[in-house]
Amino acid sequence: MSWLHAAVLLPFIFALIIPIVYRFVKRIHIGWFTLPVPVVLFIYFLSYISTTMSGNHRFAQLLWMPQIGMNFNLYVDGLSLLFSLLITGIGSLVTFYSISYLSKNEQLGNFFCYLLLFMGAMLGVVLSDNVFMLYLFWEMTSFSSFLLISFWRTRQASLYGAQKSLLITVFGGLSLLGGLILMTLSGHSTSIRHLIAHASEIQSSPTFILAMILILFGAMIKSAQFPFYIWLPDAMEAPTPVSAYLHSATMVKAGIYLVARLTPIFALSEGWIWTVTAIGLITLFWGSLNATKQLDLKGILAFSTVSQLGMVMAMLGIGAVSYHYQGAQSQFYAAAFIAAVFHLINHATFKCALFMVAGIIDHETGTRDVRKLGGLMTVMPISFTITVITALSMAGVPPFNGFLSKESFLEAMINVTHSHLFSLNTLGVLIPIVAIVGSLFTFVYSVRFIGQIFWGTYKPESLPDKPHEPSVMMWIAPAFLAVLVVVFGLFPAILTQSIIDPASRAISNAYIPHAEFHLFHGFTPAFFATLFIYAAGIGLIFAYHKWVKVIEAIPERLELNYLYDRSGRYMPFYSKKITRTYMSGFIRNKLIVILGSLIVLTLITLLCMPFSLNFEHVSRLRTTEIIIVIMILASATMIVFARSRLFSIIMLSAVGYSMAIFFIFFNAPDLALTQFVVETISTALFLLCFYHLPNLNRYNESRSFKIGNALIAAGVGLAVTVLGLIAYGNQHFESIAAYYKANVHSLAHGNNMVNVILVDFRGTDTLFESSVLGIAGLGVYTLIKLRSKHKNGYERVEENEQTEK
């Protein structure tokens, strides 16, 4: 195991330790024990900057399940290093902020445990070179975010948001898994580096388009792209540190990372370029438009995250055009990759700070409702300063870092109309229009965010708490981020060679020259577009109450939220109704469903798939075997026509004992003894339970009831017989029996083949089978202890429903 593996596993190890420490250390805030983890990891990943700057990478391999190609292989290049630094750097600030934000009365052991799980899962996603390990960590982010969002589990809104995010993102994860499987089958490898190097094999595969669609679904859902963004606003019910971390550097950036990482494979597809660009621009427009009408501070920031992620996604789509050109033209469009990488960093700085400010406002005033806020500039001057810097950066106002990446974004959107590929020079004229309109509303909600909190009339009577500046510890983290916003805006060269250039090279196939950002690029179309955004944005702010009613009038039925809520309301009702059709309390009804399905599936398989019966190697029947078969048939027939339960039990035992005699003639005494023991115990149990059997008279059954039973029984018998004959007559592999015969003594040092197979060769199977029996026994015991003595479950449910009505 390498140090890189240790770095990924460190958060998981501390996630187990922190809850234990929390139980025994009460005087010191548990956050102080958690903080060293992200800080140490951030310092560790900083050491890789020199490696990626020189164009090199770091690969660490750890075999885990090589038989299925699932190994714990990690890979550090410019792109993965960028995300690792964001995850650990922002994670350090969020952890520090949490120490002052969360009181000791909270379940802090659980909180920091979940936070470290989330951090480790995100590191696994961005550093994994194995597609299946990437998927494993991908789903772990969904699970850990569910725990974080539902941290305040006594609140219904928290549980609703957590469930919503889990259901939607896990659905996206399953789509991603399907795409990754198709990609590995066509690329003949589970290594991401190998798949990128052999992208031509994947591109020529007939499953290329399907794999691309499935992977895009997974990435779009994870990064809250339109129309799957609905889970993100409801995730705001999480504690503010979680929201700051989730929105700025972690979960929602996972989809962005995936699109950037797999761009070299799918960029040659016209569908990839148009889908990524179009979905990104629609998300930018729709998110910024909805942010303008929100009344909750975190709601505004949630929709702003949606819009900002759409902006980055659109830049990745435009950058993919560079794969269709060579030389200077390729670099011309690859500049969009540079802008996307720079905006990822900028968004992490100003968005994390803004969420922390929103948490401060909520913490110190008791509300996030903008209708109750206003006039806090003189009361909270430090918070006001931080908000102005970071919100104006989000709006794209100089001299802050957001302005530089926003200018590059507009320039990329305008330049793409010069391309003569895929109708970009005709239909592509819509791209800069949508980009400018989306940026316009971004300017509006960003400036209004400042004004709604700090300008206007001070309304102390509407605030639950008397507002004041927080403790120094609470504003250190957002103040530090605000300083970075200014520094990166004035001195972007700090990032270009060290982080932006290596990350861009990892995405692009073109040579990426040294990136340069300037506060003034001349009188370019992007410059005039920016002036228009400022002028029109100021006008829209002053006329806000006139046009916002149009946005508020958009019917809810046009949103995916409506469909989600409706399905969440009616699916339990119909599923309960369907369940009651076969969960009637009678085992026979359940057996009809199970056995009927077996008959239907067998019939469909026989009709759709070719099969043959081969009797060449069938052994001859001996007289003794014929006699035993007659005994079994006679006993089974007597069970059907028996009028006494006692006689039925005896005949059932006769069938079992006859099978044991079969084993004796087949030279399997161990199996025979086992069968004798099982039948004896079963018979004894039947007799012990005889008194408690239901008082039902089977001879009052109707003819149709008996005919149905006969058809099911005959169908199952015929299906099992045919399947057995097909399996016997179509052996495609050599039997493993020869291997056991040859090695049972030399490898396991035993003479009893059956015992050796069960204990040595298949010892793990036997262990798990025993575990399953133990778990089943615990389940049966629990059900017996919890059952009601007077009413069954269905009666209680019906009674509760009547009470509710």
Token reading at 99: 């120490």
Token reading at 753: 């083949």
Q: Could you tell me which residue, 411 or 801, shows the higher pLDDT?
A: 411
Mean pLDDT of 748-752: 80
Q: Among 48-57, 91-100, 280-289, 548-557, where is mean pLDDT lowest? A: 548-557
Measured distance CA(75)–CA(5) in Å, rounded: 10
Mean pLDDT of 260-287: 95
* Nearest CA-CA partner of 221 in 159, 150, 161, 171: 171
pLDDT on residue 785: 81
Measured distance CA(9)–CA(252) in Å, rounded: 22
Token reading at 693: 């059997």
Measured distance CA(315)–CA(496) in Å, rounded: 17
Measured distance CA(112)–CA(140) in Å, rounded: 16
* CB distance 443 to 304 below 8 Å: no
Measured distance CA(213)–CA(272) in Å, rounded: 9
Measured distance CA(698)–CA(647) in Å, rounded: 14
pLDDT on residue 700: 62
Q: Among 385-399, 560-574, 668-682, where is mean pLDDT lowest? A: 560-574
Measured distance CA(62)–CA(390) in Å, rounded: 42
Mean pLDDT of 239-263: 92
* CB distance 315 to 340 below 8 Å: yes
Mean pLDDT of 721-747: 81
* CB distance 4 to 60 below 8 Å: yes
* Nearest CA-CA partner of 222 in 302, 162, 166: 166
Token reading at 576: 């309960």
φ/ψ bin of 508: left (φ > 0), alpha (ψ from -120 to 50), beta (otherwise): beta
| pLDDT > 70 in the chain, percent | 96
pLDDT on residue 693: 66
Measured distance CA(88)–CA(42) in Å, rounded: 5
For residue 71, which phi and psi values (nearest 5 degrees)? Answer: -115, 150
Measured distance CA(65)–CA(121) in Å, rounded: 19
pLDDT on residue 694: 64
Mean pLDDT of 228-246: 91
* CB distance 661 to 629 below 8 Å: no
Measured distance CA(347)–CA(394) in Å, rounded: 7
* CA angle, 796 then 801 then 803, to 5°: 95
pLDDT on residue 698: 55
Q: What is the DSSP string of 512-579?
A: -PPP---S---S-HHHHHHHHHHHHHHHHHHTHHHHHHHHHTS-GGGSHHHHHHHHHHHHHHHHHHHH
pLDDT on residue 727: 80
* CB distance 18 to 33 below 8 Å: yes
Q: What is this structure's pTM?
A: 0.81
* Nearest CA-CA partner of 442 in 259, 314, 554: 314
Question: What is the band of 482 on the pLDDT scale with cuts at 50, 70, 90?
Answer: very high
| pLDDT > 90 in the chain, percent | 58
Looking up tokens 């140490």 gives 40
Token reading at 92: 């350090």
The 3-state DSSP class for residue 441 equals helix
Looking up tokens 């990437």 gives 134
Looking up tokens 């592999």 gives 733
Measured distance CA(117)–CA(45) in Å, rounded: 18
Residues 6+ apart with CB under 8 A from 752: 670
Measured distance CA(197)–CA(199) in Å, rounded: 6
pLDDT on residue 122: 96
pLDDT on residue 699: 56
Using alpha carbons, list the distances in angstroms from residue 714 to 588, 720, 739. Answer: 15, 10, 38
Question: What is the tens place of the pLDDT at every residue in 439-460?
Answer: 999 999 999 999 999 998 888 8
Q: Could you tell me which residue, 620 or 29, shows the higher pLDDT?
A: 29
* pLDDT of 311 higher than 60: yes
Domain ranges of the chain: 270-552, 738-804
Mean pLDDT of 656-684: 88
Mean pLDDT of 758-786: 85
Whether the bond between 464 and the residue before it is cis, its omega within 30 degrees of 0, is: no
Residues 6+ apart with CB under 8 A from 726: 611, 612, 613
Mean pLDDT of the chain: 89
Question: What is the band of 691 on the pLDDT scale with cuts at 50, 70, 90?
Answer: low
For residue 734, which phi and psi values (nearest 5 degrees)? Answer: -70, 140
